[in-house]
Chain A
Amino acid sequence: MARISFIESIRQAQYEELARDPKVFLMGEDLVANVFGTTTGLIEEFGTDRVRDTPLSENGFVGAAAGASMVGARPIVDLTITSFVYVAMDQVCSIIAKSKYIYGGQVKLPLVLRMCMFYGNSNAAQHSDRNYPMFMGMPGLKIIIPSNPYDMKGLLKTAIRDDDPVMSFEDGTLWSQKGEVPEGEDHLIPLGLADIKREGTDATVVAVAGGVPLALKAAEELSKDGFSIEVVDPRTLVPLDRDTIIRSVSKTGRVVVVDPAHQSCSAASEISAIIAEEAFESLKAPILRVTTPDTHLPFFPNGEKALLPSKHRIVSALKRLLN
């Protein structure tokens, strides 16, 4: 295993799957120039047919990925920043999510839409969305949301091999994070399998994406006060590993759900509802959510920082449950 960055783990997953399966190809804006660092060495190896630059035509090339996948190709689309998916909503929601269903299973759409959540660095509201919850509300789309390089690579490789459309939400605040990641073909993480990032007995934090490292820091801080906090990372939101979440909450009886998305109808809301429905008897305290309030992220840094989940806010929520 080598220690690599989150970005490098994406590059490796793409590289290995392009090499493994000639049906796989990659397209998106500014890939050849390697603007985001996820295509280093890919052009040299696979050429500009299989690593293809697109014009600024999101609805066009996302829809083209749908069509290509219908005839047996396996496109990976790099939409760069997740806010740009709105331009392609027509194809994502009406074609990609629904074609297999409305045509009664006659067709499958094995494609991956990759997107970076570009928040926390004063890029203002139009560039800073963490919009996966919207797509949880759209059946037919699988959603991976990794929190470290190991998971990123393993989940992306599985997503590329999956026969359903998968959206990959990649948290920009984690880009430079490093971790141990296996090289080679076999590093596959099944979709729908949560990971317990830290074991504990007093309270559970269910956290997604950039919320996970914050939850781990909060758990570490509270351990100094003698509290034992478990951190569960669902890793994929569709499918969602309910069992692991329920098992953890049944053990601890207290839960905080951390999610960088806006609070209303967030992933945290859905997870909280599932816990309330399936583990109500084991709860010793209310379920608390640490999310972004229902206002846009402002450009001014002091405002943006305050709105996003932080170690401090997670610790506050946990203390409220533990006292």
Chain B
Amino acid sequence: MSLFMHIAQIYFRNRMVDMENLTLEQYYEGYLRMLRIRKFETRAEENHSKGEIPGALHTSLGQEAEVVGACMALKDDDYMVGNHRSHGHPIGKNADMKPLMAELYARKTGICGGKGGSMHLSDFSIGSLGETSIVGSGLPVAVGAALGSNMLGEGRVTLCFFGDGASNEGAFHEALNLAAIWNLPVVFLCENNGWAVSMPASKAVSVENIADRAAAYSMRSELVTDGQDFESVYIATKRAVDTARAGEGPTLVEVKTYRFAEHAVNMGRMLVDRGEELEEWLKRDPVEILRIKINEMVGDETRLKEIEEQVEREIEDALEFAKQSDFPDVADAFDDVYSERVSDFYGLS
């Protein structure tokens, strides 16, 4: 098949899927979830700097529209796989924030019982199949979830979040090829925030757009150039999700976005000077953009303010819950894994 025919076919297929526009309720829902991420992470960062939260903290501040726009294109029982930048994904898929916050605080009531921490806020009750911190390791898992769901005749869609950096791992190639040859219901969502720690995507990726790589797998692609716009992300992802659900196979969605904070708080010397670029992106705050949009549509802030108050309360409750929870016992470190001979370590009872 010529490249032209291939592109034409992708274009044609894309048109066949209905472009579903968002209802006002969905806009409000999007704002609610984005604001939750914003406040959850802002407070977590503050309290981390006070020494309340151990380990490193990878925030998705600046990427809220991309996360929530993609998650809202899913049904509740669809699956999702994420990565080290893990806080936004479960909140975007409407998880309860209390166990997420408690996990950051390393408490027994945390979503992973205090074993995972910031890089692993994975809530299986909302369809998460892991937030995995080895870059690229989630991609094959997402393929397997889609395969498994097909084998079981359930037809659930799997959304896989991964970064621009991850698209350079071998696992990316293997996962995309497998999904393509088996025509699996996966949506590969590349959160292209321009950087992998200190490495700009422009230097690490051989193509201009990561979405261009889909052609190598005869896979459909979507390129969202304005990832700060909730609606654009939603529409592109929804099209991919609908295509997957209709049995038409996987899509590679690339969303151009930006992380506002450093790669991770408290991870050695990871501070990288991104200069004016950062200043420019800070002017396009996804949460503000959506707020302005809704305000323009409705002309009344009442509901937005209610949402803002609601989120404040939810965050306070989550913090309260986390801080009042107990730390796990040392013995808990031996649960959830098959382990033998744990009683005879000297000085460890």
Contacts and interface: CB of A to CB of B under 8 A. Distances in A.
Interface of A: 29-30, 32-37, 53, 55-60, 83-84, 86-87, 121-127, 263, 288, 290-291, 293-304, 306-307, 310, 312-317, 320
B138 to A, nearest CB: 11
B168 A57 contact: yes
A122 to B, nearest CB: 4
Q: Which of B198, B341, B348 has most A Cβ within 10 Å?
A: B348
Interface string B182-216: 00000000000000111100011100000000000
A307 B198 contact: no
Task: List the 8 closest A-B pairs by CB distance, nearest first.
Answer: A33-B198, A299-B117, A122-B55, A313-B347, A55-B204, A316-B347, A300-B114, A122-B54
A123 B267 CA distance: 9
B116 to A, nearest CB: 6
A81 B325 CA distance: 32
A126 B133 contact: yes
B168 A299 contact: no
B346 interface: yes
B298 interface: no
Nearest to B104: A299
B345 A293 contact: yes
B119 A57 contact: no
A29 B134 contact: no
Nearest to B342: A293
B36 interface: no
B348 A293 contact: yes
Nearest to A311: B347
A57 B136 CA distance: 10
Nearest to A90: B170
Interface of B: 54-56, 103, 106-107, 112, 114-117, 119-120, 132-136, 165-166, 168-171, 196-199, 203-205, 268-270, 272, 327-330, 332-334, 337, 339-342, 345-348
Given A288-B346, A293-B342, 18 more contacts: A29-B199, A56-B165, A56-B199, A123-B117, A125-B115, A263-B341, A290-B345, A293-B348, A294-B341, A294-B342, A295-B342, A300-B54, A300-B106, A301-B106, A304-B333, A313-B345, A313-B348, A314-B347
24 contacts: A29-B197, A32-B198, A35-B269, A55-B165, A55-B196, A57-B169, A123-B55, A126-B119, A127-B133, A263-B341, A290-B346, A293-B339, A294-B340, A298-B328, A299-B116, A300-B114, A300-B327, A302-B330, A303-B114, A307-B348, A312-B347, A315-B347, A317-B346, A320-B346
Contacts of B134: 83-84, 86-87, 126
Contacts of B348: 293, 306-307, 313
Contact of B205 (A55, A126, A288, A313): A55
Contacts of A293: 334, 339, 341-342, 345, 348
B340 A37 contact: no
A319 B37 CA distance: 52
A302 B328 contact: yes
A306 B330 CA distance: 7
Nearest to A304: B333
Contact of B269 (A34, A263, A294): A34
What DSSP secondary structure best describes chain B's contact surface? loop
B176 to A, nearest CB: 15
B170 A300 contact: no
A297 B333 CA distance: 7
A10 to B, nearest CB: 14
Contact of B332 (A34, A36, A124, A303): A303
A124 B168 contact: no
Contacts of A294: 339-342
A124 B119 contact: yes
A60 B204 CA distance: 13
B333 A298 contact: yes
B199 A310 contact: no
Contact of A310 (B107, B114, B168, B347): B347
Contact of A126 (B132, B327, B347): B132
Contact of A60 (B170, B337, B346): B170
Given A55-B199, A293-B339, A299 B347 contact: no
A83 B137 CA distance: 12
A319 B332 CA distance: 28
Nearest to B200: A53
Nearest to A305: B330
Contacts of B330: 302-303, 306-307
A310 B345 CA distance: 11
A57 B332 contact: no
Given A29-B197, A53-B199, A298 B332 contact: yes
A306 B346 CA distance: 11
A295 B337 contact: yes
A84 to B, nearest CB: 7
B334 A295 contact: yes
Contacts of A300: 54, 106-107, 114-115, 327-328, 332-333
A33 B199 CA distance: 8
Q: Which of B54, B268, B342, B345 has most A Cβ within 10 Å?
A: B345
B116 A124 contact: yes
Contacts of B205: 55
A32 to B, nearest CB: 7
Contacts of B345: 263, 290-291, 293, 313
A302 B268 CA distance: 22
A53 B135 CA distance: 17
A84 B134 CA distance: 7
Contacts of A121: 54-55
A60 B107 CA distance: 39
B296 to A, nearest CB: 40
